[in-house]
Amino acid sequence: MMLLPEPVQRLIDAFSRLPGIGPKTASRLTFYLLSSGDDLPETLSEALGELKANITHCSRCFNITTVDHPLCAICRDERRDESLLCVVEEPLDVLALERTAAFDGRYHVLMGALSPIEGIGPEDLRIAELLERVRAGGFKEIILATNPSMEGDATAMYLSRQLQPFGVKVTRLARGLPVGGDLEYADQNTLQRALAGRQSME
């Protein structure tokens, strides 16, 4: 016997499929929408519908864009530095880097990272398209900005080997201690990377 009406249970189940949302949070969100006195449920429903209908991936870098623009806003921006290419795992990583206002080059989104355990190999990512872009020439530096995880490190190592024949400079984002962090709270790997990536004070 189902304790909740089917539409309520379906929404709870749908919310539960989102990353970082467990059954309790899914239930709270559902009942909040249920008791909401404004038009939030309708607005949310319309936004989700538009998301699936109007959003696609950039035909060049695979960042997100609208269906009426095959190229994303960054690829359309002629003021960007054409000689720098930053390789990231997901479109959300582009957003994180853009918020820093410290990078004005181009991007390439892999749409994931290599993970043999999950069955994700090079053919499952946008690696072939990356190599094709680099082969076409024009880039002086490729920045590998994959996540500092086992999968991210493996992906960066693989890409570094694949990019070697093109004779282009390949770099990796520096890693180490966060600003405002204390040494005593840093884990061993973070300290090792901070030591390895130390810089001159000159």
Give the mean pLDDT of 139-165.
Answer: 94
Q: Does 178 map to a domain?
A: no
Quickly state the pLDDT bin for 92 (edges 50, 70, 90): very high
The domain in which residue 121 lies consists of 80-172
Residue among 144, 136, 112, 139 at smallest CA distance from 125: 112
Q: Are residues 159 and 97 in the same domain?
A: yes
Q: Are residues 25 and 85 in the same domain?
A: no
pLDDT digits (tens, 9 = 90+) for 43-77: 999 999 999 899 999 999 999 999 999 999 999 99
How many domains, the chain? 2
Q: Are residues 91 and 148 in the same domain?
A: yes
Global pTM reads 0.84
Q: Does 140 map to a domain?
A: yes
CA–CA distance, 128 with 108 (Å, rounded to integer): 11
Q: Does 89 map to a domain?
A: yes
Quickly state the pLDDT bin for 177 (edges 50, 70, 90): confident
